[in-house]
Amino acid sequence: MTFLPAGVDALTAILLIGISFFTSALTAAFGIGGGVAMLGALAGAVPTNVVVAVHGVVQLGSNLGRAILQRAHADWAAVRRFLAGAAIGVALGAWLFVSLPERFLLGLLGVFILIMVWVPKPRIPGLSKAGLVIGGAISSVLTMFIGATGPFTQAVLLPLGLDRKGLIATHAVMMAFQHALKVIAFGFIGVALMPWLPMVAAMIVSGFIGTVTGTRLLEKMPEALFQTILKVLLTVVAIDLLRRAAGIRIPGL
Quote the Cα angle for 248-251-253, to 5°.
90
Mean pLDDT of all residues in 183-195: 80
Within-domain flag for 86: yes
Within-domain flag for 25: yes
pLDDT at residue 73, rounded to an integer: 92
Within-domain flag for 96: yes
Within-domain flag for 82: yes
133 pLDDT more than 80 = yes
Identify the domain containing residue 137 by its residue range.
Answer: 10-245
56 pLDDT more than 70 = yes
Counting the structural domains of the chain, the total is: 1
pLDDT at residue 45, rounded to an integer: 75
Q: How far is residue 198's CA from residue 124's CA, in Å, rounded to a whole number?
A: 48
Within-domain flag for 158: yes
Within-domain flag for 2: no
124 pLDDT more than 60 = no
> Do residues 243 and 106 lie in contact, with contact meaning Cβ atoms separated by under 8 Å?
no
Within-domain flag for 3: no
- CA pseudo-torsion sign 54, 55, 58, 59: negative
Q: How far is residue 84's CA from residue 139's CA, in Å, rounded to a whole number?
A: 12
pLDDT at residue 97, rounded to an integer: 59
Q: Is 114 left (phi over 0), alpha (psi -120 to 50) or beta?
A: alpha
CA 206 to chain centre: 17
More confident residue, 133 or 33: 133
Within-domain flag for 207: yes
